[in-house]
Amino acid sequence: MNRVIFLVVATVCLVCLADQSNAGVIAHYTFDSNFTDSSASGNDLTISAGNPAITSTVDEWKFGNGAVDFISTTSNQDHLILNSAIDFVAADAWSVSFWGRRRPGTDARSGMILGNLTGRDFIWTVDSGAAVSGGGLRFRNSGSKSYDYEDIDDDQVYHHWVVIADGSGSVASYRDNVSLGTKTAVTSFGITHVGQAYSSTIQSYNGQIDELYIFDNAIGPDVVASLFTSNQVPEPSTLLLAVAALCSGLLTHRRRW
């Protein structure tokens, strides 16, 4: 009987782990050659303003062979629109990962990554002199509440940013695989555009964005590290095999005992 109970518990653990691991990418834009979504969702991007294009110039992309290049000024906007809007309520877990390189000499405010162009919820990377003290990252929720990660000066080279909402009242951020901390936050968030999410033209992104991921779960530090080092989302099978081996070992030990 004890063996049966053990096997049932082990099976439940594996199922739960598989469910957590498989919850994942709902949009992935490699920007290697176009604006298509490489995830199973097929939520492609199309041009909504200006003339954003794919660049393959050396140093203007991070992985693959290209990145999206936005050339935005105080009088010109470049941005893309999702075919289908993505909306997260406060109880939803989600994550956004991307590489960004603001163009040298650009306006300090020209750093909108993505968000809702009408609702004004966004993820924004800015330089010192803008609304975020000392420069850094701002997440604004669908209720127009801002959460800032400050005093990060922009050096006009590529950096990896991750914003993670746990669905339980917290938001965390990473830059180049280094945690910027966790804040108590209402994390409702809508995404309609990439490269802009606000009505002001001076805040459209000016520079390159590469490997944009949107997840429907709160990714862990292991996934953040993998995205930073190799642009890979770890396969759930590796984790499952490890747990299966552990369960098998425990069962063998129990038999001997």
User: What is the tens place of the pLDDT at every residue in 198-228?
Assistant: 988 889 999 999 999 999 999 999 999 999 9
Tell me the per-residue pLDDT of 67-92, one tens digit each, with 9 for 90 and over: 999 999 888 899 999 999 999 999 99
* d(C-alpha 168, C-alpha 150), whole Å: 23
Counted domains in the chain: 2
| DSSP H or E run through 95 | strand 94-102
What is the mean predicted confidence (pLDDT) over 121-134?
94
Question: Do 68 and 17 fall within a single domain?
Answer: no
Q: Alpha helix (H) ranges present in 118-235?
A: 221-230
- Is 41 in the same domain as 87? yes
pLDDT higher than threshold 50 for residue 234: yes
How much is the mean pLDDT over the chain?
Answer: 87
Rg (CA), the chain: 20
Judge if 123 and 5 occupy the same domain.
Answer: no
Give the DSSP H/E element, type plus range, for residue 106: none
Same domain, 100 and 8: no
Lowest mean pLDDT among 17-31, 158-172, 211-225, 232-246: 232-246
| Residue 189 contacts residue 93 (beta carbons within 8 Å) | no
Handedness of CA 202, 204, 208, 210 (dihedral sign): positive
pLDDT band, residue 236 (cuts 50/70/90): low
State whether 244 and 149 are in the same domain. Answer: no
Same-domain pairing of 88 and 138:
yes
Strand duo 170-175 + 159-165: pairing: antiparallel
16 vs 20: CA distance, rounded Å: 6
14 lies in the same domain as 31: no
- What's the domain range around 168? 25-232
